[in-house]
Amino acid sequence: MTAMAHEPMATDTETLLDFFLSLDTPEGFRAELVEGEIVVTPPTDGDHEDYLSIIGRQVTRRSATDMQISGYKGLVLSHAENQPADHVIPDATIAPYALRLFRGAEPWMPSDGVDMVVEVTSSKPRHDRVTKRHAYARAAIPLYLLVDRGKSVVTLFSEPKDADYLTTHSAPFGDRLPLPAPFSFDLETADFV
């Protein structure tokens, strides 16, 4: 009797990740895999993009450290227990320009060197408020800036530890929100109103 070679069976997490990576998402839509859940987000509206533009202008003009911003850059993050690696697409990913992280990066790059990610809430605010916040903290991204349109508040999450951030600072639209180093300026939100 001869022994037969068997290929290893894919785990559920491998199957989910393979399925996610093979998705053919319609143009303009974003598919993300966070904590074992596939979330598909429709194209953004003009107000969403306006908030990002306001933040981007201030970061590039006022940061103490010269920053590079990528809109909708795929990041591979640490994973929740018994789940495949998180694959997220922040509205904005910000890193020191000197690192040139985005040059030559794969479509899904690691988050090493990223100083801040930005999300503007859209059709699934819980995803931005909770699920992605935990994913960014697990990956030890130092700062997470959330523009919460439903609550008219901008919140900065800092000091990642395990699966959350230890510190939060919030400001209602119209007020200033201090950004720590390497940014070291107060984010103006008057134009959010």
- pLDDT one-digit tens code per residue, 149-193: 999 999 999 999 999 999 999 999 999 999 999 999 999 999 999
Site of tokens 């109103």: 193
Contact status, residue 53 vs residue 60, Cβ threshold 8 Å: no
Site of tokens 């993050």: 77
Looking at residue 9, what is its pLDDT?
A: 43
Nearest to 92 by CA among 115, 108, 113: 115
Site of tokens 């040139």: 100
Looking at residue 52, what is its pLDDT?
A: 98
Residue ranges in the chain modelled with pLDDT below 50: 1-10
**How far is residue 118's CA from residue 191's CA, in Å, rounded to a whole number?**
17
- Output the six-digit token pair for 34: 């966070």
Looking at residue 175, what is its pLDDT?
A: 98
Nearest to 93 by CA among 69, 77, 112: 69
**How far is residue 140's CA from residue 111's CA, in Å, rounded to a whole number?**
9
Maximum CA extent, the chain: 78
Looking at residue 11, what is its pLDDT?
A: 58
Cis check: omega of the bond before 110, within 30 degrees of 0: no
Site of tokens 């916040």: 133
Looking at residue 4, what is its pLDDT?
A: 45
Q: Whole-number mean pLDDT of the chain?
A: 92
Looking at residue 3, what is its pLDDT?
A: 47
Looking at residue 1, what is its pLDDT?
A: 47
Looking at residue 172, what is its pLDDT?
A: 98
- The CB density around residue 113, as the number of other CB atoms within 10 Å, is 13
* Contact residues for 90 (Cβ-Cβ < 8 A; gap 6+): 72, 73, 75, 117, 118, 119, 132
